Amino acid sequence: MNTSVDAALYKDGARVKTSCTLGETYQALHANPGAMAWIELNNPSTQVIESLAREFEFHDLLLEDIIQAHQRPKLERYESTLYVVLHAARYLDKEEEVEFGELHVVLGPDYVVTLRHGGAPDLSGVRTRLESSPDLLTFGPEAVLYAIADAVVDEYAPVTRGLELDIEQIEYQVFSGDPTVSRRIYELSGEVADFQRAVRPLRRILIDLRSGFAKYGVNEYLQSYLRDVEDHLVEVSENTERFGATLKDILTVNATLMTQRQIEEIRALNEAGAQENDAMKRISAWAAIIFAPSLVGGIYGMNFDIMPELHWAFGYPFALGLMLTLAVVLYVVFKKKRWL
């Protein structure tokens, strides 16, 4: 993947030079004492990162983290170099899912290097906004860092709105009996958990930055700027915590409803089985009642000569009485057993 480079030189809050290559940016920075270079890289190659490391004398551990990427959100200081990793997020309306990206920011006395991986936000808007506020840009690399943090946090707001709508849809699906809702709950729970992993460490990063205000002589205006970013982040963080708790409740309710439906299905099957069993009992009972007289009638209907009952005056009434008696006895027996 080709590395996209956007580099410019700033002095006294104004852009003084736009360079197309890193080499030209290095030369311009050396030729303009007091200037600041802002180098933005998208999916940088190892060769480009190593070039930056040689020019700005990155610490070995810093270089290793940047090359490896896939870092957790964090803030680290290496002497005069500040290294910040942020996890950006944006909500994709069409797919109804959250896309995450990784943003590395390296600050030195006279430079800012931003390295974007994945779905990290395009910082051209941040650059444009800062260039339109030269008073803010005069504060140097810290102003760029705070503006980037503000942009990342601003991107969180649409994510929270999108997740909130998704949760409302899931609540409707749960109570409408949609069988596919369980999978959607688990998928959304994963997205919320990933979002929490992006938001929570950023609060710690902002707190650490605030704790260094006095030590590093951060301007009062920048301090208020960062506090505003922190206030917005607190709101986002509270929403993500609420989303996590809501999804746990929804999962519990869905499991309860599924259990109730299964119980109702089992009960319906048992009732159907019981009805079928009762029907079989009735059929079997009537079959037995009909079979007994038929058996007697079948025997007497053989008409063999050697059958004393054939010439007995009471043979016919006896056979009828026997058939009736057997039918009545079987009826009574089956009635007591509740087969009829």
Question: To which residue do tokens 């005056």 refer?
Answer: 313
Q: What pTM was estimated for this model as a whole?
A: 0.73
d(CA 207, CA 210): 5
Does 4 score more than 70 pLDDT? no
Which letter does DSSP use for residue 20 in this model? S
In this structure, what token pair is assigned to residue 142? 């810290």
CB atoms inside a 10 Å sphere around CB 235: 13
Residue 201's nearest CA partner among 165, 157, 164, 240 is 240
Check whether 119 has a pLDDT greater than 70.
Answer: no
Beta bridge partners of 74: 85
- Which pLDDT belongs to residue 223? 79
E-strand ranges in the chain read 4-11, 14-19, 36-42, 74-78, 81-92, 97-108, 111-118
CA distance 306 to 295: 19
- pLDDT computed for residue 113 by the predictor: 94
Q: Hey, where are the domains in the chain? A: 4-260, 275-336
Q: What is the CA radius of gyration of the chain?
A: 41
- Give, in order, the Cα–Cα distances in Å from 152 to each of 69, 86, 229, 272, 284: 18, 8, 10, 59, 77
pLDDT in tens, 219-264: 777 778 788 888 889 999 999 999 989 888 888 888 887 777 777 7
Instruction: Quote the CA–CA distance of 67 and 70 in Å, as a whole number.
Output: 9
What integer pLDDT is reported at residue 303 of this predicted model?
A: 66
Only one residue has tokens 């609540």, namely 171
Give the dihedral sign, CA 303/307/311/316.
negative
pLDDT score of 297: 73
Note the pLDDT of residue 291.
Answer: 76
10 Å CB burial of residue 279 (0-12, 13-18, 19+) is exposed
Q: Give the pLDDT confidence of 32-60 residue by residue, as tens digits.
A: 998 999 999 888 888 989 999 999 999 99
d(Cα 278, Cα 269) in Å, to the nearest integer?
A: 14
In CATH terms, 4-260 corresponds, of 3.40.50.300, 3.20.20.140, 3.30.1300.10, 3.30.460.20, to 3.30.460.20
Q: Which two tokens stand for residue 303?
A: 């008409």
The residue length of the chain stands at 340
What is the average per-residue pLDDT within 20-29? 86
Amino acid at 181: V
Position 55 scores a pLDDT of 92
Span 128-175, pLDDT tens digits: 888 888 888 888 888 899 899 999 999 999 999 999 999 988 888 888
Rounded-to-5 percentages of helix, strand, coil across the chain: 65, 15, 20
Most confident of the following: 52-61, 294-303, 330-339: 52-61
List of long-range contacts for 328-337, beta carbons under 8 Å, 24+ apart: 330/285, 330/288, 330/289, 330/292, 331/285, 331/289, 334/281, 334/285, 334/288, 334/289
Residue with tokens 């007497």: 300
Q: Which residues pair with 42 in a beta bridge?
A: 4, 116
In this structure, the number of other CB atoms found within 10 A of the CB of residue 261 comes to: 12
